Amino acid sequence: MGLPRLVLVLTITLPVQAGPFKCVQPDGGVIYQQGPCGGSDQGGEVVVDTRSPGGADSAGKARDLSVEGQLKALEAARAKERKARVAASTGAEERGPAETYDRAKCAKHKAQTARWREEVRGGYRTRDEKAHDLSMLEHHQAMVERYCAPQ
């Protein structure tokens, strides 16, 4: 019972020492230590400048690595990406359909349309084959409308 009380008393009565101390010895030598200088030494606590080279307080500039801080940063980044995506999509709509015409793609899809028309006319072995051929024909016809200028 006496030992815990002694530990408690020592913990409360010991002075708290923060930071390094610079001590000048009687012979002129300088030493740095964690505790205060002894009786014959002169000196005091060293104040450490923790500012960045620009003069800003480093504590204010530190990144918030907490879960909440990371979540806020992630949400801000996602909002920025979403805004950029919306701006890009509205820019594409403003350009108009005239700029989406592509002669090479037009020719390719016209050839594919002709091929799939022949497939449709040629007959089918199964319903799935018929559905596939009709789907491919519709797809290439839509691409012809998209990439070919109206005539």
Return the pLDDT at 136. Answer: 92
**How many whole angstroms separate alpha carbon 128 and alpha carbon 136?**
12
User: For 28-63, what is each residue's pLDDT tens digit?
Assistant: 888 888 888 877 777 777 777 767 676 666 555 567
State yes or no: pLDDT of 13 exceeds 70: no
Work out the average pLDDT over 79-88.
Answer: 86
Work out the average pLDDT over 126-133.
Answer: 89
Give the CA count within 13 Å in the CB-facing half-sphere of 126: 3
Give the CA count within 13 Å in the CB-facing half-sphere of 103: 0
Return the pLDDT at 95. Answer: 45
Return the pLDDT at 7. Answer: 60
State yes or no: pLDDT of 10 exceeds 60: no
Work out the average pLDDT over 97-101.
Answer: 63
Return the pLDDT at 146. Answer: 86
CA dihedral 26, 31, 37, 39 (to 10 degrees): -20
**How many whole angstroms separate alpha carbon 129 and alpha carbon 119?**
10
For the chain, domain boundaries: 65-95, 97-147
**How many whole angstroms separate alpha carbon 59 and alpha carbon 57?**
5
For the chain, counts of helices (H) and of strands (E): 5, 3
Structure pTM? 0.36
